[in-house]
Amino acid sequence: MTAPRRSALRWAGVAIGAAALGAGVATWRWRPREADLQAGAILFGQTLPDAAGRPLALATFAGRPLVVNFWATWCPPCVEEMPELSELHDQLAPRGLQMLGIGIDQADKIAEFARRRPVSYPLVVAGMGGTELGRRFGNTSGALPFTVLLDRRGGIAHRILGRVDIARVRAMAIDLVG
């Protein structure tokens, strides 16, 4: 083997190692962390304005399986997954599933979004306070979208950081509604 070929192979090995290390660090950094055991109670203790500005007591969702999706109008993967989540809500609401979109955004932007792209589940405005609520559910990075599935007791059944795989969420939700 020639010296230039050995050198190229050595640098390729270094590049592969660096990429693997970077992927490992990113996976570790962005994965959901341990959630606050009171996160469900904190969620149900909130009253937030809906997309039309009317107050919505989140306690009305207690006692049912609940899919909570943290999102923002400026987040492309958030917006992309919303029609699929809306369809899932339509399919499973008759079986008791509730879905809730918590907007980490300004009220006027969420109102405009809801007019242009309506969904079948409630959207509420949490602003930057929604980031803190997401952290209570284990999203310490504050990345969006972030989806949490809660059981009937308000306990965390599943957490998904990033765009959802709707088939996977459907299976999880069906398991929750029984």
Count H helices, E strands: the chain? 6, 7
CA distance 74 to 93: 27
Q: What is the pLDDT of residues 1-53, one digit of tens each?
A: 777 776 666 665 555 644 544 544 444 444 555 767 789 999 999 999 999 99
What pLDDT was estimated at residue 2? 77
Residue identified by tokens 């050995």 is 6
Q: What angle do CA 66, 105, 129 make, to 5 degrees?
A: 70
Instruction: Report pLDDT digits (tens) over 95-117.
Output: 999 999 999 999 999 999 999 99
Q: What is the pLDDT of residue 14?
A: 56
